[in-house]
Amino acid sequence: MKVFRRSLSIAISLFSLLPVTACKSTAQSSEMLEASGPDDFVRVDPSNPSKLIYKGSEYRFSAANSYSMLNSKASADKQFAQMKELGVNALRMWGFWNGGSDSLQPSRGVFTESRWKQFDYVISKAAEEKIKIILPLANYWDEFGGIVLLNSWVGHPPESKEYFDREIFYRNDKSKKLYQEYVMQILNRRNSITGKLYKDDPTILMWEPMNEARGRSDPSGQTVVDWLTWASKLIKDNAPKQLVGTGTEGFFKSHSKYSYYPWQAANPPTARRNGRTENPVPEGSYFDLDCKIPTIDICSIHAWPFQWFIEPADRPDLFMSQWVEEHIATAKDFKKPLYLAEFGWQIQRSEGEKAMEMRAKVFEAAYFDKSKGSNQVRDGIAGIGFWNISDNDNPNPGGLTFEVTCPKDQNVCSLIKAFSKAQVLSR
């Protein structure tokens, strides 16, 4: 979902202290490590395709999302230290950063080597900390250089009709060629520290073709299905050892049990919240279609009850429990593993304990099956990732923020730590 959590890309420039050298090729390492074997990679369990396995045992993960790992080595180290304290064993971070003089890809086919070396460092540090990485390869939204920017690189003007013009990205051969070029760049990047190609590195748990792909120009959902089918096959053909996830939010085209958005996302009813009326348009991206794609190994969902105007507004925890449970059941029917890639609750820190308590309820509902008792994780979900970890000790003190700062945010940090322990040990 495009929300305030993604509006912080401007702040990235404050941390961008790495020297920039534009180049057309990736770095070569002088020392090559021994190739990884099949058992070093997380795979779908062939005997139970709703689960993941790693080195012969079920693999489950507790993840943190971060959009600032590529800022600097100091920033990454600070976040890895928090993750270690929380017991987190997976990281979801952007596998793209387009536009701007010091991004991964300032312009088409031009790559900033110093920024890619920071990427190399993050992957090598994650391997050292035994943390797996999830990497989306593009962004439906504008932050960090989304598909509107990529469209402009192949001659399409900025969108005039919000959300609709950008979706030419799915259908236009030039846009698809640009996407393919970047996919091949990152898959074949040789890590300057480990010597491994990214596509051969078991530290990378999975790729997502795009973060939160939607298809509002095609309410049927077929445009997104067709593009995800094409993109996931491209990734799978060139990186067969690693998993491919949907990267989508998990909207249902329609659901028999619930009559409101986001359960009914093909023909969403009008939503009201605090006197405000919302008229969501059909999303054109549906869990009940995307999850069935043969080259998708694992199905994602996201959960943003505040941004989706979920009722009742004072009980987002009820929605969170329902959302997770219903997707577990659906993914099981499809014989696919499931992960909650990102969820969160924005708070106004100036509101004090009241805001903290509401956020804690949302985290607890996402993490635990309360019907089983305290700190009991659900069966049927491979992993859950909170939004978001940060290198900032006091993020946006006077405004809204999603960032979790540990140990400062004690109640939520305790829940993350308890989930990490229960999720990893429950396998």
Cβ atoms of 248 and 175 closer than 8 Å: no
- pLDDT of 391 higher than 50: yes
- pLDDT of 14 higher than 60: no
Using alpha carbons, select from 3, 25, 62 the residue that is nearest to residue 427: 62
If residue 113 lies in a helix (H) or strand (E), which one and from where to where? helix 113-128
In percent, how much of the chain has pLDDT > 90? Answer: 72
Residue-wise pLDDT tens digits, 78-127: 999 999 999 999 999 999 999 999 999 999 999 999 999 999 999 999 99
For residue 12, report the phi and psi dihedrals to the nearest 5 degrees: -55, -40
Please tell me the number of Cα atoms within 13 Å of 53 on its side-chain side.
12
Residue 275 has a pLDDT of 55
Using alpha carbons, select from 117, 201, 137, 213 the residue that is nearest to residue 171: 213
The domain tally of the chain equals: 1
DSSP letter for 206, please.
Answer: E
Strands (E), 89-203: 90-93, 111-112, 132-136
Q: What average pLDDT score do residues 348-371 get?
A: 88
Using alpha carbons, select from 332, 306, 329, 327 the residue that is nearest to residue 317: 306
Angle between helices 316-334 and 353-367 (to 10 degrees): 20
Using alpha carbons, select from 197, 187, 185 the residue that is nearest to residue 35: 197
**Domain at 406, CATH number:** 3.20.20.80
Residue-wise pLDDT tens digits, 276-314: 566 678 999 999 999 999 999 999 999 999 888 887 788
Q: How confident is the model at residue 200 (pLDDT cuts 50, 70, 90)?
A: very high
R_g over Cα of the chain: 20
- pLDDT of 11 higher than 60: no
Residue 179 has a pLDDT of 98
User: What residues make up the domain containing 23?
Assistant: 4-425
Strands (E), 55-159: 57-59, 61-66, 90-93, 111-112, 132-136
Q: How confident is the model at residue 347 (pLDDT cuts 50, 70, 90)?
A: confident
Q: Residues 161, 166, 171, 172: is their CA dihedral positive or negative?
A: positive
Phi-psi region of 13 (alpha: psi -120 to 50; beta: other; left: phi over 0): alpha
> How far is Cα 44 from Cα 53, in angstroms, rounded to an integer?
6
